[in-house]
Structure 1
């Protein structure tokens, strides 16, 4: 039996470009989480809430300015930080590959993770993301993130 017998009509295959946004790619998102932990984390460690907040901040310049206005107390309107399920999957991927570990409700970079962070820091990649994280770092304390999620 031939495939033409099953379909009862002529067919062709056309290769199409399949664009996948970079922020949905596991490798891209993994490197981003490593940068978040390395730049904003205390001793390369951060809570899940802080990682989600940093991920939201770097998505748009508008998010960064909204967060900075709120954290600087210029604006009392609390930012609507969106949690992304892909971050949780990426953290599990990092843990399973020995790049990060979970410890008492925090995600920490391992020695391998720190070396990856150092290499990412040296390279001319994630330029906009690094700049946003560096700018927000002062206001991304665990206390501020907790205040954000509690709505105080």
Structure 2
């Protein structure tokens, strides 16, 4: 018995918020504002924080690294969507691209200020970044990479 007719009905597929471009852009701005010295960060640090911020287990792992000096450094992913979000933020004048860093602009600072003023927006992300603060700096990111490359 052969199939005479096959019909597909397109149904909307929900997109997980962490994959939405606007979410990625806001996370980048939050990282620059809350957890980066002089509102400036390397691409690698942005990727690392973006990866660690995604779920509770990873957040706890980074808190352990920062507070306890836990030597178990995690492996993390480099996400093309984060690079695309950075390009968009740069083209909109929300961040500046320096030689090897990205810096929050005044315009980006104003936008992130509005987000920080909304107590319901990005609660988990902001709470986590405030807890880490500026304790996980570029030097620690470099140490992480050196450790992973061995």
TM tier, smaller? 0.7 to 0.9
Matches for 1:1-152 after TM superposition, within 5 Å: 16-123=11-118, 124-151=120-147
Q: Which has the larger radius of gyration?
A: 1
Whole-Å separation in 2 of the counterparts to 1:85 and 1:20: 17
Q: Larger deviation: 118-127 or 78-87?
A: 78-87
- Alignment coverage as a number of residue pairs: 144
Asked if the contact 2:66–2:132 (Cα under 8 Å) also holds between the matched residues in 1, the reply is no
RMSD: 2.2
Whole-Å separation in 1 of the counterparts to 2:21 and 2:67: 33
Q: What's the CA shift string for 1:84-107, capped at 9, x where partnerless?
A: 111111101100111111112110
Q: Shift of the alpha carbon at 1:109?
A: 1.1
Whole-Å separation in 2 of the counterparts to 1:76 and 1:31: 30
Whole-Å separation in 2 of the counterparts to 1:101 and 1:85: 19
Asked if the contact 1:52–1:84 (Cα under 8 Å) also holds between the matched residues in 2, the reply is yes
Q: Shift of the alpha carbon at 1:138?
A: 4.2
Secondary structure of 2:53's aligned partner: helix
Q: TM-score, length-normalised on structure 1?
A: 0.84
Where do 4+ consecutive residues of structure 1 move more than 6 Å? none
Structure 2: unaligned runs, 5 residues or longer: none
Q: Shift of the alpha carbon at 1:17?
A: 2.8
Whole-Å separation in 2 of the counterparts to 1:144 and 1:74: 11
Q: TM-score, length-normalised on structure 2?
A: 0.85
Q: Shift of the alpha carbon at 1:71?
A: 3.5
Q: Shift of the alpha carbon at 1:14?
A: 5.1
